[in-house]
C-alpha cells in the first residue's frame, strides 16, 4: 500500500513507479537458493541470520551472536527461541530502516497485519513457518512474486559458478547472474589471499605476473559467459597506482607471503587499474566500494568470520586516490565505473563534481548506513545540483536478506517521489519532467549503468 504520509504530488509520482519491476544488479543473495529451489528452513534462518543490519543492532545491546545462532547450521539452532529473543528486542529498531523494511515484509510478503513484538512472536513465527512450506514461498516463486527482473549475486573470482550453471540448465525463466569479485586475489595483506591464489592456480598457470593477468581475463570471460555484466571491488581508502615495472617482483613477493604492508597496498592499487584496463576490453562495468574499514571487531572476526556487522565508515580521498586509474582509462569510450562510499561527506565535495566531469563515472546509491529514508534525501540534496540525475546509477539493494528486497526498493521509490515532488513544488521543473526522472531513478538508470538492457 502507498505511504499515505506522502504529499499529493509525491504520492502521484510514487504511484507511477511503485510497481515497476525490480532491478537488483548488486547484492549478496546465495545462488544456491535458486539453483535448488529448496524451501527456506524457518523464519529465523530466512529473516534474521543473513541480515547484519539486524544482528549488529542486537549485538550492540549486549546480545551475543551465539545466542542468535550466527555461524550455526539451521539444524543446530533453536530457531523459535532466537525469534522470541528478536521479538523481545524489536523496540531497538524504532527509527531505523530495518523497522520499515521488516514491517513492509511482514505485511506485503506474508500478509501479517499484526504488530511484531513479544506478545505476537509465536503466532507470527508459526504463520511465516507455515507459509515457507508452501510452493508459493520457495525462492523462485518469491523471486517472481517480488517482480524481480534480474538479480545479480556477488561471487569470488575463483567460484566455479556451478549454481549459476544449474540455474541456466533448469529452464527457469528467472534471471540470476553472477558478479566477478576478485578482492581476495588483489590484496596480499588479506587473510584470504593465499587460499585464493591457490584456488586460481588449480584452474590456470599463474607462475608469472603475465600469466596471472591472463588467468584473470579468463575468469572474467567465464563470468561474462554466465551473464555477468559487472565486477566488484573494495578498498578501505581509495588508492590506485600504475607501476607495471614493479609488478613481477611484487607478485613474486605476494605469492611467497613476504610483502611489506606498503608493498601489499601498492600491489592492490595497481591491480585496480589492471581491472579497469580489462573492463575497457570486455565491457564489464566496474563497481567500486570505498570508505569502509572492514571487520573492525577482531574478536568477532576470529570467532565468526567476516561480514558480521563490524564494518565502519572512514574518511577517504577520491580525487587523488582515483587519479592514476582515471589517467589510464578515464578517457576510454565504453569504460564505466560506479562509485559507492560510506564516507557520506564526499558526495558533494568530490563524487558529484567528479561524476559531473568524467564520462566513465556514475554515482552509486546510498550504501549501507545511508540506505535509509533520510540518507536517500541527503544523497539527492548533495549530488543532484552538481551531477544531475543522468550521472547516477539508480538503485541497488546490496543485501543478503532476500525478503527485504521489495521493501528496500519501495523505500527508495518513496524517497525518489518525495525528492521529485519537492522539486516540482519549488518550481525547479514541472510534473512531466518529474515523471520522466522518476522512471529513470526507478529502472532506467540502473539498466543502463549495469548494461542490463538485453537481460
User: What would the mean pLDDT of 168-182 be, rounded to a whole number?
Assistant: 97
Quote the pLDDT of residue 310: 87
CA dist list (Å): 22 to 32, 44, 70, 409, 448: 20, 25, 29, 7, 14
C-alpha cell at 331: 578517457
Local structure of 15: helix, strand or coil: helix
356-412 pLDDT tens trace: 999 999 999 999 989 999 999 999 999 999 999 999 999 999 999 999 999 999 999
Determine the Cα–Cα distance for residues 187 and 442; give it in Å rounded to an integer: 35
My answer on whether 196 and 329 are in the same domain is: yes
268-325 pLDDT tens trace: 999 999 999 999 999 999 999 999 999 999 998 898 898 888 899 999 999 999 999 9
**Residue 27 near residue 399, CB atoms below 8 Å:** yes
Q: What percent of the chain has pLDDT over 90?
A: 93
Residue at a domain's end among 137, 168, 188:
137
Determine the Cα–Cα distance for residues 234 and 340; give it in Å rounded to an integer: 9
Residue 1, pLDDT > 70, answer no
My answer on whether 156 and 118 are in the same domain is: no
Residue 3 covered by a domain: no
Residue 1 covered by a domain: no
The overall average pLDDT reported for the chain is 96
Residue 247 backbone zone (phi > 0: left; psi -120 to 50: alpha; other: beta):
alpha
Residue at a domain's end among 96, 114, 137:
137
Confidence of residue 72 (pLDDT cuts 50, 70, 90): confident
Determine the Cα–Cα distance for residues 73 and 398; give it in Å rounded to an integer: 23
Strand residues in 180-303 grouped as ranges (E): 180-181, 230-235, 285-290, 292-293
Residue 453, pLDDT > 90, answer no
323-347 pLDDT tens trace: 999 999 999 999 999 999 999 999 9
My answer on whether 195 and 107 are in the same domain is: no
Domain that holds residue 110: 42-137
Query: CATH code at 26?
Result: 3.20.20.140
My answer on whether 290 and 261 are in the same domain is: yes
Quote the pLDDT of residue 2: 45
My answer on whether 320 and 362 are in the same domain is: yes
My answer on whether 182 and 309 are in the same domain is: yes
My answer on whether 358 and 407 are in the same domain is: yes
Residue 142 covered by a domain: no
Quote the pLDDT of residue 339: 98
My answer on whether 312 and 236 are in the same domain is: yes
Residue 230 covered by a domain: yes
My answer on whether 327 and 383 are in the same domain is: yes
HSE on the CB side for 409, CA within 13 Å?
28
From the CB of residue 244, how many other CB atoms can be counted at a distance below 10 Å?
10
User: What would the mean pLDDT of 21-43 be, rounded to a whole number?
Assistant: 97
Residue at a domain's end among 137, 168, 192:
137
Residue 455 covered by a domain: no
Strand residues in 58-209 grouped as ranges (E): 148-152, 155-156, 176-177, 180-181
My answer on whether 245 and 273 are in the same domain is: yes
Residue 207 covered by a domain: yes
Determine the Cα–Cα distance for residues 252 and 387; give it in Å rounded to an integer: 42
Residue 220, pLDDT > 60, answer yes
Determine the Cα–Cα distance for residues 95 and 13; give it in Å rounded to an integer: 25
Phi (first) and psi of residue 30, to 5 degrees: -85, 120
74-129 pLDDT tens trace: 889 999 999 999 999 999 999 999 999 999 999 999 999 999 999 999 999 999 99
Number of domains comprising the chain: 2
Nearest to 442 by CA among 26, 152, 150, 14: 14
My answer on whether 218 and 100 are in the same domain is: no
Residue 454, pLDDT > 60, answer no
Nearest to 149 by CA among 180, 175, 112, 172: 175
My answer on whether 34 and 54 are in the same domain is: no
Query: CATH code at 111?
Result: 1.10.2020.10
Q: Which helix (H) or strand (E) holds 343?
A: none
Quote the pLDDT of residue 3: 52
Residue 143 covered by a domain: no
Find residue 101's DSSP bridge partners: none
Residue 58 covered by a domain: yes
Amino acid at each position: 500500500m502507498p505511504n499515505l504520509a506522502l504529499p499529493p504530488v509525491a504520492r502521484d509520482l510514487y504511484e507511477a513507479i511503485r510497481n515497476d519491476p525490480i532491478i537488483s544488479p548488486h547484492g549478496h543473495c546465495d545462488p544456491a537458493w535458486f539453483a535448488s529451489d529448496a524451501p527456506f528452513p524457518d523464519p529465523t534462518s530466512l529473516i534474521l541470520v543473513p541480515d547484519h543490519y539486524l544482528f549488529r543492532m542486537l549485538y550492540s545491546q549486549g546480545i551475543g551472536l551465539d545466542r542468535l545462532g550466527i555461524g550455526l547450521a539451521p539444524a543446530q539452532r533453536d530457531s523459535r527461541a532466537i525469534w522470541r529473543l528478536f521479538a523481545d528486542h524489536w523496540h531497538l529498531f524504532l527509527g531505523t530502516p530495518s523497522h520499515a523494511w521488516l514491517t513492509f515484509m511482514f505485511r506485503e510478503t506474508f500478509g501479517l497485519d499484526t504488530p511484531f513484538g513479544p506478545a505476537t512472536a509465536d503466532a507470527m513465527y508459526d504463520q511465516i513457518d507455515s507459509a515457507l512450506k508452501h510452493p508459493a514461498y520457495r525462492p523462485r516463486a518469491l523471486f517472481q512474486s517480488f517482480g524481480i527482473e534480474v538479480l545479480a549475486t556477488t561471487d569470488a573470482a575463483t567460484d566455479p559458478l556451478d549454481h549459476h550453471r544449474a540455474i541456466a540448465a533448469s529452464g527457469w525463466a528467472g534471471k540470476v547472474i553472477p558478479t566477478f569479485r576478485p578482492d581476495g586475489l588483489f590484496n596480499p595483506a588479506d587473510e584470504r589471499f593465499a587460499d585464493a591464489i591457490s584456488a586460481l592456480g588449480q584452474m590456470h598457470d599463474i607462475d608469472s605476473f603475465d600469466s596471472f593477468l591472463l588467468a584473470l581475463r579468463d575468469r572474467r570471460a567465464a563470468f561474462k559467459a554466465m551473464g555477468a555484466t559487472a565486477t566488484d571491488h573494495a578498498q578501505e581508502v581509495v588508492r590506485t597506482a600504475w607501476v607495471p615495472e614493479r609488478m613481477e617482483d611484487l607478485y613474486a613477493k605476494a605469492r611467497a607471503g613476504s610483502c611489506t604492508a606498503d608493498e601489499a597496498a601498492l600491489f592492490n592499487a595497481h591491480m585496480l587499474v589492471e581491472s579497469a584496463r580489462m573492463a575497457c576490453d570486455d565491457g564489464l562495468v566496474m563497481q567500486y566500494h570505498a570508505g569502509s574499514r572492514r571487520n573492525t571487531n577482531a574478536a568477532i572476526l576470529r570467532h565468526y568470520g567476516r561480514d558480521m556487522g563490524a564494518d565502519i565508515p572512514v574518511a577517504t580521498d577520491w580525487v587523488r586516490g582515483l587519479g592514476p586509474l582515471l589517467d589510464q582509462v578515464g578517457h576510454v569510450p565504453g569504460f564505466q565505473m560506479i562509485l559507492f562510499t560510506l564516507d557520506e561527506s564526499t558526495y558533494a565535495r568530490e563524487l558529484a563534481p567528479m561524476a559531473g566531469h568524467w564520462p566513465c563515472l556514475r554515482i552509486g546509491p546510498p550504501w549501507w548506513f545511508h540506505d535509509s529514508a533520510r540518507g536517500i534525501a541527503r544523497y539527492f540534496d548533495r549530488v543532484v545540483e552538481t551531477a544531475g540525475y543522468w550521472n547516477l546509477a539508480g538503485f541497488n539493494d546490496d543485501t543478503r536478506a532476500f525478503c527485504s528486497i521489495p521493501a528496500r526498493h519501495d523505500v527508495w521509490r518513496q524517497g525518489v517521489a518525495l525528492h521529485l515532488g519537492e522539486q516540482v513544488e519549488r518550481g525547479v521543473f514541472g510534473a512531466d519532467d518529474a515523471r520522466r526522472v522518476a522512471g529513470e531513478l526507478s529502472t532506467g538508470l540502473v539498466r543502463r549503468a549495469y548494461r542490463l538492457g538485453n537481460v
